[in-house]
Amino acid sequence: MEQTNKMEQYELGYHIRPPHGLLNDPNGLVYYKGIYHVFYQWNQTDTTHQSKSWGHMTTKDFIRWETHQPALEPIDWYDRDGCYSGSAVVFEEKMYVFYTGNVRGKNGERKSYQCLAISEDGIHFEKKGPVLEHPIKGYTAHVRDPKVWQGKDGNWWMILGAQKEETLTGDALMYQSTNLIDWSLTGSLMDEPLSLGYMWECPDVLRFDDKDVFAFSPQGLTAEGEKYNNIYQSGYFTGELCDNGKFIRDHQPFKELDYGFEFYAPQTFKDTGGRTILYAWVGVMEPKLEAAVPTRKSGWLHALSIPREVTYEKGKLIQYPIAETTHLRETKSVVSKSIQDESFTLSSLQQDILVEWDAAATDFIIYLRNEIEINYQASNKKITVVRTNWLTNVKEERTTFLTQDLMELRLLIESSMVEIFLNKGEEVFTLRYFTSEMNHSFNFKYLNRKVEKTITGYTLRSFIVKDKS
């Protein structure tokens, strides 16, 4: 087997990763003066969760990117222990960025300030300091991750993740403003008492024509069968956001956005074409597993997901790679229409593979690089993804159930990440994996009845990144 050096072995070509240090949440996603801006939580000096600044990349086409100097650095009294997560909006041709200033006292006690920074060119930011007073009566200092958007009436909303003091349960707080500077609290997003974990991080409100969606990342959910098996989860409620800032949720349970292993802290924004685009951190893991990620030896850790267009269909969010992702396709690497099992050697580890069935898929297993298994059981539309835990070397799996027969499966493969989209985004599994073998195999195996399917694969090019920092 060919031996490559470890750095190349786990490299990511078409996902945003930090040049060095640790990346976590996507921040400040915005389309400003014809350019898409992606910021992210970034520890520039180490692969630990200390000293977060805002890393910054821009693109016009999601293929050619520019890296800029960090937009925000934790150097002021109100953010000296971290410029934590937040969002961006455009107002009077300026970019307004809201974020949480994290400050620790002598004995480690936490203070959170919701802060503003303004930019006139999208590259240089002038910090304006805190815009909100904390703590708020009845809440602990765990209040962070401002997401701001403009309501239909032109007024601005801010939602914050929070923790109730009395019950130590997660909550979301809503604020309103006419000028983005003066904010007044309207209260909890939901009036009903919900006990769903001890803290809600990274809240977001998605607005579609006839539906609103409250997405958030609760910490502290207990695993229940196939649900909530990761350290923290991200998911949503559907419903209606009323003019008074209250969200009336539909009678549907909390639904996870992704059934893989590492997806966390997603954020969305709308572009001028009206698309809702989501990025997430890939991602959150148990500290011991994080410490064992092999890329730490090469000085970097974690990545963002592929940008996904989010739509609302029949009570559910659908997530599918944005159309621009197809521009990463270089050459067709696989084409096969057959009723047989199939085995391929992938020409590279950057692939976009589509499996399409003319009629409902029957039971199968896909083995990717002898490392990842995707197992489908048609009788109950059950889909299971298996990988090896790189700390324990034990196989682990995640499962969910489709509501429709499986007709399409799309795999976005990198050397150490896979995103699996089922039925054009009805369900998604995102995961990292680290195999020491340079195995490039892709095997498709029917388990009983064989039906015709088409497999089309494309080699994907890497981003072209210019450093403008």
Quick check: 267 binds ligand FRU (CB under 6 A)?
A: no
Question: Between vectors from CA 70 to CA 160 and to CA 219, what angle results, nearest 5°?
Answer: 30
Quick check: 79 binds ligand FRU (CB under 6 A)?
A: no
76 catalytic residue (yes or no):
no
Q: How far is the CB of 5 from ligand FRU (least distance, A)?
A: 30
Q: How far is the CB of 466 from ligand FRU (least distance, A)?
A: 26
The first and second tokens of residue 393, run together, are: 């070397």
**Long-range contact list for 400-406, CB < 8 A, 24+ apart?**
400/226, 400/256, 400/259, 400/427, 400/429, 401/226, 402/426, 402/427, 403/316, 405/360, 405/361, 405/378, 405/381, 406/357, 406/360, 406/361, 406/376, 406/378, 406/381
**Distance between CA atoms of residues 275 and 303, nearest Å:** 23
C-beta closer to ligand FRU: residue 58 or 267? 267
Q: Is 296 helix (H, G, I), strand (E, B) or coil?
A: helix
Quick check: 24 binds ligand FRU (CB under 6 A)?
A: yes
C-beta closer to ligand FRU: residue 86 or 307? 86
Cis peptide leading into residue 28 (ω within 30°) = no
Cβ atoms of 280 and 321 within 8 Å: the answer is no
Quick check: 73 binds ligand FRU (CB under 6 A)?
A: no
Q: What sign for the dihedral angle of Cα 32, 37, 43, 49?
A: positive
Q: Give the binding-site size for ligand FRU (rule: CB under 6 A).
A: 12
Quick check: 52 binds ligand FRU (CB under 6 A)?
A: yes
Question: For ligand FRU, which residue of 84, 157, 434, 444 counts as binding (CB under 6 A)?
Answer: 84
Q: How far is the CB of 354 from ligand FRU (least distance, A)?
A: 32
Quick check: 202 binds ligand FRU (CB under 6 A)?
A: yes
C-beta closer to ligand FRU: residue 231 or 361? 231
Q: Which of 25, 79, 204, 258 is catalytic?
A: 25
145-164 residues near ligand FRU, rule: CB under 6 A: 145
Quick check: 233 binds ligand FRU (CB under 6 A)?
A: no
Q: How far is the CB of 254 from ligand FRU (least distance, A)?
A: 18
C-beta closer to ligand FRU: residue 122 or 146? 146
Q: How far is the CB of 13 from ligand FRU (least distance, A)?
A: 25
C-beta closer to ligand FRU: residue 85 or 169? 85
Q: How far is the CB of 283 from ligand FRU (least distance, A)?
A: 9
Of 347, 356, 403, 349, residue with least CA distance to 371: 349
**Distance between CA atoms of residues 305 and 327, nearest Å:** 17
Question: For ligand FRU, which residue of 9, 85, 305, 459 counts as binding (CB under 6 A)?
Answer: 85
Quick check: 37 binds ligand FRU (CB under 6 A)?
A: no
Question: For ligand FRU, which residue of 9, 10, 16, 25 counts as binding (CB under 6 A)?
Answer: 25
Q: How far is the CB of 107 from ligand FRU (least distance, A)?
A: 20
247-266 residues near ligand FRU, rule: CB under 6 A: 265
**Distance between CA atoms of residues 329 and 467, nearest Å:** 24
Q: Is 135 helix (H, G, I), strand (E, B) or coil?
A: coil
The first and second tokens of residue 348, run together, are: 């590279």
Q: How far is the CB of 25 from ligand FRU (least distance, A)?
A: 5
Phi, psi dihedral angles at 294 (to 5 degrees): -60, -25
Quick check: 201 binds ligand FRU (CB under 6 A)?
A: yes
According to DSSP, the β-strands at 441-446 and 427-432 are unpaired
Of 78, 80, 87, residue with least CA distance to 130: 78
Of 196, 155, 159, residue with least CA distance to 175: 159
Quick check: 276 binds ligand FRU (CB under 6 A)?
A: no
The first and second tokens of residue 394, run together, are: 């034990």
C-beta closer to ligand FRU: residue 163 or 188? 163
Cα pseudo-dihedral 359, 376, 421, 433, rounded to 10? -150
Quick check: 204 binds ligand FRU (CB under 6 A)?
A: no
Quick check: 100 binds ligand FRU (CB under 6 A)?
A: yes
Which amino acids are annotated catalytic?
25
Q: Which residues bind ligand FRU (CB under 6 A)?
A: 24-25, 41, 52, 84-85, 100, 144-145, 201-202, 265
